[in-house]
């Protein structure tokens, strides 16, 4: 998703190489800290590649991350296949609860990661409800389009069984993945937490998706579970609500269509 208006990104050419510097002002430093923590958490798994971070500090009242510049290498089938295998490896990193011990952001909106034992409870309370309420408060949705907790938890439980909490990128679309010249993918701008692995797949498909080579490689490791298409719509609802709340009415129709499907 797009950066906050308080965040700037620069490519810097130095004698020692090319780097990326991402800066934020004092008010937005918490979001940059969350991004830094997310990149570090993924990097520590040694599964899917993230940019190497050289510094995370403050200068002239601005917080900044200095990190590796990744040169794009083209969308080869081998790179997409490797990305699929790497994402599957990330999704093998498990936890005992859904959520995370810290909150973060999705785009510029706060994302609550309060931990739950139940995926249905987590997805409703920490994902759908906050965005549904915000959309209603902003005048984008009517009350009658927002069902109650029992409705949503029941619908989620009916679609999903025996979900294991796994580490997610959390905002996995093509703009947050660089296919590099080494023949693999590097992910940026994460919104990490432990959730259902299909959330990352749903987001990846929302704006065009990757080549089928990526999905074939991923599902060769993870396996497809029946009912995937309905769950993809359920998980895309969260991201579409976020876009509705950030960018306005152009996303209302898509949100309303999914809400009607799950009514």
Give the model's pLDDT for residue 11. 94
Write down the residue that tokens 């739950």 correspond to: 116
pLDDT per position as a tens digit, 48-70: 999 999 999 988 878 899 999 99
Q: What are the structural domains of the chain? A: 7-68 (3.30.200.20), 77-261 (3.90.1200.10)
Give the model's pLDDT for residue 59. 86
* CA–CA dist 163, 123 (Å, integer): 12
pTM of the prediction? 0.94
pLDDT per position as a tens digit, 152-192: 999 999 999 889 999 999 999 999 999 987 788 999 999 99
Give the model's pLDDT for residue 208. 86
* CA–CA dist 223, 82 (Å, integer): 16
Single out the residue of 19, 13, 15 nearest to residue 68, CA to CA.
19
**Nearest-10 Cα torsion for 213, 170, 57, 28:** 130
Sheet holding 62-68, edge to edge: 7-14, 17-24, 62-68, 53-59
**Cα distance between the two ends of the chain:** 28
Active site residue 171: yes
Active-site choice (171, 200, 230, 257): 171
Round the average pLDDT of the chain to a whole number and report it.
93
Q: What is the DSSP string of the chain?
A: -PPPTTEEEEEEEETTEEEEEEEE-GGGHHHHHHHHHHHHHHHHHTSSB-PPEEEEEEETTEEEEEEEPPPB----HHHHHHHHHHHHHHTT-B-SSBB-SS-EEETTEEE----BS-HHHHIIIIIIHHHHHHHHHTTSS-GGGS--HHHHHHHHHHH--SPPPEEE-SS-SGGGEEEBTTSSEEE-S---EEE-THHHHHHHHHTS---HHHHHHHHHHH---TTHHHHHHHHHHHHHHHHHHHH-GGGHHHHHHHHHHT-
For the segment 227-234, the average pLDDT, to the nearest whole number, is 96
Label residue 73 by pLDDT band (50, 70, 90). confident
* CA–CA dist 39, 147 (Å, integer): 35
* CA–CA dist 39, 33 (Å, integer): 10
Residues written for the chain? 263
Q: How far apart, in Å, are the Cα atoms of 170 and each of 4, 142, 167, 202, 210? A: 17, 28, 9, 10, 16
Give the model's pLDDT for residue 161. 81
Is 36 in contact with 66 (CB distance < 8 Å)? no
């Amino acid at each position: 998703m797009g950066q906050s208006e308080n965040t700037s990104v620069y490519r810097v050419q130095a004698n020692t190489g090319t780097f990326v510097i991402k800066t934020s002002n004092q008010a937005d430093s918490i979001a940059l800290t969350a991004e830094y923590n997310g990149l570090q958490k993924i990097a520590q798994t040694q599964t899917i590649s993230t940019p190497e971070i050289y510094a995370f500090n403050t200068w002239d009242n601005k917080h900044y991350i200095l990190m590796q510049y990744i040169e794009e290498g083209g969308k080869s089938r081998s790179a997409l296949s490797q990305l699929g295998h790497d994402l599957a490896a990330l999704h093998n990193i498990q936890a005992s609860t859904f959520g995370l011990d810290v909150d973060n952001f999705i785009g510029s909106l706060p994302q609550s990661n309060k931990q739950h034992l139940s995926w249905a409870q987590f997805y409703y309370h920490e994902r759908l409800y906050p965005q549904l309420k915000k959309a209603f408060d902003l005048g984008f949705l009517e009350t009658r389009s927002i069902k109650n907790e029992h409705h949503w938890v029941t619908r989620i439980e009916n679609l999903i069984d025996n979900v294991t909490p796994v580490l997610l990128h959390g905002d996995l679309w093509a703009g947050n993945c660089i296919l590099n010249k080494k023949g693999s993918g590097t992910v940026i701008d994460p919104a990490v937490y432990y959730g259902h692995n299909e959330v990352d797949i749903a987001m990846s498909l929302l704006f065009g998706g990757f080549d089928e080579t990526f999905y074939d490689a991923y599902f060769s490791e993870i396996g497809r579970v029946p009912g995937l298409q309905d769950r993809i719509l359920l998980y895309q609802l969260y991201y579409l609500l976020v876009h509705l709340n950030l960018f306005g009415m152009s996303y209302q129709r898509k949100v309303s269509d999914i809400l009607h499907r799950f009514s």
